[in-house]
Structure 1
Amino acid sequence: MGELPAGFKLATFIALGDEPFSALRVLGRLLRSRGEPGGMEGHPLLTRLGWWNAYGGYYTELLRPLNAEGLARVVSTLKASQIPLGYLGLDLWYPYEAIGKALRYRADPGKYPEGLRTLRHKWDIPYVLHLSALSERNEYGARGGDPEVYRAIAEDLLAEGGIAAWHDWLRTQQHLTPNLRADPEAAERWFSGLARAFSETGLPLLLCMHTMGMILASTRHGNVISARSHTDFLFSQRQALAEAARRGHGELLEAWTPPGKLRAQNLLMGAVLSAFGLAPFHDLFLSREHPGLGGDRPWEDAVLRALSCGPVGIGDAPGLTDAGLVGRLLLNGVLIRPDAPPRPYLPSLKGDVHLYWTERRAQGLTWYYLLALNTTEEERPFKLSLPFDPGEHCAWDGYTGRPVDTLAGVLPSGGMAYFVVAPEVGGISPLGYQGKLVPAPHRGFAAERDAKGIRIWSDGTPILVQGKALSVQGDDGSPVELGRGNGLWTVAPRRGQGWFRVVGR
């Protein structure tokens, strides 16, 4: 900056922590305390499964543009599979001069001749709607740095059936508008005006292609609830990028990112975003491999998104969604997650295999979720040392739900191991909900110590327990279903949700 306007104020915050990420969390709390309260944690963007057509999904604009006919096939096949969809995340649904330069935010009549609202009423599924930078020839007649135009844009999204704004290409808008890069007050007015315009219409914001300044500014706005943590899922898919190159988009193939690097960036930046109150978005994933496109490690991609505590969306082709895998992300149609996104064990970042971890704390009992990520393009062995004292515990394979003796193995290029370290009391260790990728979730599950055993609350889904012999009793004498298979116990209230007590014998 060459000069600062009269009256400009600069405040300095000093945040202290035991390590960089704890210091960031302190700074985030300080900044958020000066802004608007949140209150949108229960929004469908953060609690329900979505289907997206962004870069990396089956419907990617440069390879296979989406239209009403394709969207109808997606919806009908998902409904036929009884997959509880919360919303549709629609990319490039509007007319544009070039990708990244929108003309107006109304349904493109060439793609959606009936408009989007008609389809929303037909399917009873709302939208999370994509925004990009505005073309210099936009139909609003607005300049790039004009915050007032977003009032009209917010109304356009509501008219189409939108429940959230997914604002992509944010740094492109700043790049196209020199004043936003030269005048700090103009940049602040633009971003704050943008956020307020959507807030006044009840729309939360998901940021994408943002700057770190925008992340800091978002702490003042309670409706800015999420941000993408890295780049498009597309850039880790060689097959799709090769096809794009054959169609004349060689620059995309040059931007290929090895899966281990992309995952590490998502996890590291996810921890930063979370410190400032934003739910990290790892972008869509494919729930099974798609020939010619990619998605050959869907379970690993699903775990990353389940633990992210952010939006979770699939981008599958019609009829290719793995309903079984998707079901492991949900409990009664709601996304399950730990207490917070994973954070890195800093010493591990110096090596090839990174360790990230998060947890679920419940009345003195803690479930730890551990990720071992191979960041290289070659096979790597690993053996984890826990960065915490778990006390008496049992280690489980997070993918299979089976106990393991050691936290060790060999990872393929970009591969990821997943473990759950569950508490052990009196010779028993409950993993949590059977068949779920986050078996002891932040909501919909509870536990506490009880004399020599553990009291557990279940919504009726069986709880998987390790132990030689069990004594099980429902609260107030309510009946409990007890089963055994493959050396493990399953326990659940017989009449729906409720508490029960498990004691080792």
Structure 2
Amino acid sequence: MGITVSLDGEAPLKLVYQSTDQTKGVNKLGTFDEYTLHFYKDTEVSVIVKLRNYGEFLLGFVDGRIASENPFMRRKSFSGKGSIAITIDEIEGIHSLMANYQHNDWWTRPHFDPDLTKLPAQTVSLLWESDSTYYRLLPVSGPVFRTDLKGGGGAEGKGMSVMLSSYQGGLQRVEALAFVLGIGDDPYTLADRTTDAALKELDYPVLPRERKSYPEVLDYLGWCSWDAFYQKVDERGVLAKAEEFNDLGLPVRWMMIDDGWSTIKEGKLQGFDANIDKFPEGIAHTVAMLKDKYGVKWVGVWHTIVGYWGGIHPDSSLAKTLGHYLYRTADGSLVPYPDPAIGFGFWHAWHGYLQRQGINFVKVDSQAAINNFLQYERSVGASSAAAHQAIEASVALHFDNTMINCMGMAAENIWHRPKSAVSRNSDDFMPKSQNGFREHALQNAYNSYYHGSFYWGDWDMFWTINHDDQQNAVLRAISGGPVYISDALGQTNPSLLLPLLYNDGKLIRCARTALPTMDCLTKDPTRDAVPLKIWNYAGEAGIIAAFHIGEGGKTLACSLSASDIPSFTDKRVVLYEYFSQACRLLEPGESLSFMLEPDACKLFLLVEVKGKVTPLGLVNKYASPHAIMNQWSKEGSDTIRLREGGRFAFHMQGVPTRVLANGEEQQLISIGNDVFEIVCDGFQQEVVIEINWD
């Protein structure tokens, strides 16, 4: 390990290692051994690195100082970017890795090359595997400093660097929790454990996902205006789409009016209400029509973290009446004040107005722009924390914490949203990109590894009539997050959506954030001749979606086993594939081989065999076991309660003598391999299935 510091206006300075102290202690995280490493350059610049080892994880703290003997002389200070670099020459034994890095201002994507020197700048999570053991290095974005990883910086330019940045400049001290390093056999538990250790040490600037409440609104099917109308959205188009949904009998329960509705001038917000040319009677009229005439339960609107892309217009009435809640940046932009107690006033005024117009929730875009507006004036941690605290306080007051965070996968955003539960998990859905699904699926699956410890991922809207429509539907089915479409007028295919939801429009939503299976977690499915397999839970069952997103156009040989689902390794399961209806028993340790054509997908259900009858649920739905509310047995029969009717399938050893649905005898259909099906789609509410045998 080495230390390099960057001072304003000077060449990087490599410090000299001096000594190490060792102590023991105990705190809220447990018992630890602490190693304190001292680095100096003369007496002017010093850095202390503390490594606090708790066994399964280690916290890394940095304390850098510049001594100033003559305070009236020109002062040296740490550079705003790359203030301190902890350099690591080598990590031995890396067999494979998966890193997540911020590839532009807004989004992250995965990286798989095990050569550490090629680790991209602004890497926000690093997982590597060595002899079946996993290691996870998590850079921390704290109250002042953001930490990133990047390749190189060690001896002869090898290894990697842990970089601390304030983006402010002028600081003579760098004090921060810089990273967490964890070790374990289960990479999924490792992700949550390392994240929670950091959050607990920081006193929870953001709650982990497991401690958040998922918004009720986003448990239902929705529609967003963006890809349907882009910035040409208006009342006529929105109402026409709502009428179309009614005509199709599609239970779309919420609608989001995206960018294009606002009153703007020169790319800046000018007023709270909608553009009068597009919404002549105001946003309240549109909302009332959607709710009263078309039965839409919730309506949301879009805005950015600073009002509009360029902030608030300085000559607007908003600037005059709410100026005390606004801040003029060095470049003249006007944004909500970067102090939560003050900035809240702007959001409270706007959100209060929107609430009175009938708006129920918001999508908040361009979040990573906070640092673009305020760098050099505020530290990256302070500006982000202030912005998110202010807006989330208002959203909690007016919209019951219901918001979709967007364009905010910069680390400072992820680590500083206090309570909001849902955040975009990838770059935009690109409906007109012929190969766009590959990158979209790749980002969503692998970003979930680090992002899912903080948020339910929003895997973005999609089109139901598109060259990738089926794959997109399956991807959303397993995601565990919101499902919403952005179809244009006359371009909705209800049959693609019905397997995603119940009759009332409620989503058949998986239990957690979906993740790549362990056999592809550190492999690149676009290049390594492996499928992208994503797992989740549906009720008590496991669910795996397999996609062929590789290049080259060749058929892919794939395999699947119960061990692809954590906690299913030793289970005997019934394996059912949605599209082919193929079904078989899978013993512990046994695998299924299958083939995938380019740009194709399969969807597998894995249901543990616990008794004579193994219900698969409503197999006309993607995540069919989700519909199983409970099951009980008595001598000669099993009873299963379903959320609603449909095509109910079950595996049984033997042949049933009679099957009843709400007391009515049903025709039994054998679909092979001891799997049977009944069609009870005449029941719109709960259904009690009774399966009898001799």
Whether these two folds match at TM > 0.5 is: yes
Is 1:232 the equivalent of 2:428? yes
**Larger CA deviation: 327-336 vs 374-383:** 374-383
Q: How does 1:115-154 map to 2 (within 5 A)?
A: 115-124=282-291, 125=296, 126-132=298-304, 133=306, 134=308, 135-138=310-313, 139=316, 140-141=318-319, 142-143=326-327, 144=335, 146=337, 147-148=343-344, 149-154=346-351
Q: TM-score, normalised by structure 2?
A: 0.60
- Which of the two has higher C-alpha Rg? 2
Amino acid at match of 2:487: D
> Following TM superposition, by how much is the alpha carbon of 1:473 offset from its aligned partner in structure 2, in angstroms?
6.1
Task: Indicate if the aligned counterparts of 1:454 and 1:501 stay in contact, CA closer than 8 A.
Answer: yes
User: Matched residue of 1:85: which SS?
Assistant: coil
Task: Indicate if the aligned counterparts of 1:458 and 1:492 stay in contact, CA closer than 8 A.
Answer: no
The CA deviation string for residues 419-439 of structure 1, in whole angstroms up to 9 with x for no partner, is 222334566543211311110
- Cα distance in 2 between the residues matched to 1:48 and 1:180: 42
Which residue of the partner structure matches residue 413 of structure 2?
214
Which residue of the partner structure matches residue 508 of structure 2?
336
Which residue of the partner structure matches residue 602 of structure 2?
417
Task: Indicate if the aligned counterparts of 2:215 and 2:401 stay in contact, CA closer than 8 A.
Answer: no
Which residue of the partner structure matches residue 346 of structure 1?
518
> Following TM superposition, by how much is the alpha carbon of 1:21 offset from its aligned partner in structure 2, in angstroms?
3.2
**Larger CA deviation: 448-457 vs 208-217:** 448-457
> Following TM superposition, by how much is the alpha carbon of 1:168 offset from its aligned partner in structure 2, in angstroms?
0.8
Task: Indicate if the aligned counterparts of 1:480 and 1:500 stay in contact, CA closer than 8 A.
Answer: no
- Cα distance in 2 between the residues matched to 1:39 and 1:226: 10
- Cα distance in 1 between the residues matched to 2:538 and 2:253: 25
> Following TM superposition, by how much is the alpha carbon of 1:66 offset from its aligned partner in structure 2, in angstroms?
1.7
- Cα distance in 2 between the residues matched to 1:160 and 1:390: 55
Match 1:262 to one of 404, 429, 440: 440
Task: Indicate if the aligned counterparts of 1:460 and 1:494 stay in contact, CA closer than 8 A.
Answer: no
Amino acid at match of 1:337: R
- Cα distance in 2 between the residues matched to 1:88 and 1:172: 26
> Following TM superposition, by how much is the alpha carbon of 1:7 offset from its aligned partner in structure 2, in angstroms?
12
Is 1:384 the equivalent of 2:582? no
Is 1:58 the equivalent of 2:256? no
Task: Indicate if the aligned counterparts of 1:145 and 1:177 stay in contact, CA closer than 8 A.
Answer: no
Is 1:274 the equivalent of 2:463? no
Which residue of the partner structure matches residue 578 of structure 2?
398
Taking structure 1 as reference, are residues 38 and 207 closer, same or farther at Cα in structure 2, changes over 3 Å only? same
Match 1:95 to one of 250, 263, 272: 263
User: Matched residue of 1:275: which SS?
Assistant: coil
Q: How does 1:252-331 map to 2 (within 5 A)?
A: 258-276=436-454, 278-288=455-465, 295-331=466-502
Taking structure 1 as reference, are residues 189 and 426 closer, same or farther at Cα in structure 2, changes over 3 Å only? closer
Give the number of the structure whose residues are more often strand, by fraction. Answer: 2
Match 1:185 to one of 375, 378, 382: 382
Task: Indicate if the aligned counterparts of 2:477 and 2:622 stay in contact, CA closer than 8 A.
Answer: yes
- Cα distance in 1 between the residues matched to 2:211 and 2:649: 35
Which residue of the partner structure matches residue 357 of structure 1?
535
Is 1:458 the equivalent of 2:642? yes
- Cα distance in 2 between the residues matched to 1:40 and 1:83: 27
**Larger CA deviation: 450-459 vs 78-87:** 450-459
> Following TM superposition, by how much is the alpha carbon of 1:72 offset from its aligned partner in structure 2, in angstroms?
1.7
> Following TM superposition, by how much is the alpha carbon of 1:191 offset from its aligned partner in structure 2, in angstroms?
1.8
Task: Indicate if the aligned counterparts of 1:458 and 1:493 stay in contact, CA closer than 8 A.
Answer: no
Task: Indicate if the aligned counterparts of 2:615 and 2:625 stay in contact, CA closer than 8 A.
Answer: no
- Cα distance in 1 between the residues matched to 2:412 and 2:634: 48
**Larger CA deviation: 154-163 vs 261-270:** 154-163
Which residue of the partner structure matches residue 249 of structure 2?
82
The CA deviation string for residues 17-60 of structure 1, in whole angstroms up to 9 with x for no partner, is 5344322223455538846796642521x211111122xx2322
Taking structure 1 as reference, are residues 454 and 98 closer, same or farther at Cα in structure 2, changes over 3 Å only? farther
Is 1:67 the equivalent of 2:263? no
The CA deviation string for residues 335-385 of structure 1, in whole angstroms up to 9 with x for no partner, is 0122212211233242332222112353xxxx2211222232333412213
Task: Indicate if the aligned counterparts of 1:179 and 1:186 stay in contact, CA closer than 8 A.
Answer: no
User: Matched residue of 2:348: which SS?
Assistant: helix
Task: Indicate if the aligned counterparts of 1:89 and 1:129 stay in contact, CA closer than 8 A.
Answer: yes
> Following TM superposition, by how much is the alpha carbon of 1:309 offset from its aligned partner in structure 2, in angstroms?
1.7
Amino acid at match of 1:217: H
Which residue of the partner structure matches residue 629 of structure 2?
445
Aligned pairs, number? 463
Runs of at least 5 residues in structure 1 that lack an aligned partner in the other structure: 240-256, 289-294
> Following TM superposition, by how much is the alpha carbon of 1:90 offset from its aligned partner in structure 2, in angstroms?
1.2
Taking structure 1 as reference, are residues 173 and 7 closer, same or farther at Cα in structure 2, changes over 3 Å only? closer
Root mean square deviation, CA, Å: 3.4
Amino acid at match of 2:391: L
**Larger CA deviation: 71-80 vs 321-330:** 321-330
Match 1:23 to one of 182, 190, 208: 190
User: Matched residue of 2:625: which SS?
Assistant: coil
Task: Indicate if the aligned counterparts of 1:21 and 1:275 stay in contact, CA closer than 8 A.
Answer: no
Is 1:483 the equivalent of 2:687? no
- Cα distance in 1 between the residues matched to 2:393 and 2:228: 34
- Cα distance in 2 between the residues matched to 1:180 and 1:130: 27
Taking structure 1 as reference, are residues 206 and 52 closer, same or farther at Cα in structure 2, changes over 3 Å only? same
- Cα distance in 2 between the residues matched to 1:7 and 1:465: 61
> Following TM superposition, by how much is the alpha carbon of 1:304 offset from its aligned partner in structure 2, in angstroms?
1.2
Amino acid at match of 2:374: T
Higher relative contact order (CA 8 A, sep 6+): 1
- Cα distance in 1 between the residues matched to 2:544 and 2:619: 18
Q: TM-score, normalised by structure 1?
A: 0.81
Give the number of the structure whose residues are more often helix, by fraction. Answer: 1
Taking structure 1 as reference, are residues 429 and 300 closer, same or farther at Cα in structure 2, changes over 3 Å only? farther
Amino acid at match of 2:452: S
- Cα distance in 2 between the residues matched to 1:20 and 1:156: 46
**Percent identity of equivalent pairs:** 16
The CA deviation string for residues 119-148 of structure 1, in whole angstroms up to 9 with x for no partner, is 221221332211124424424323325123
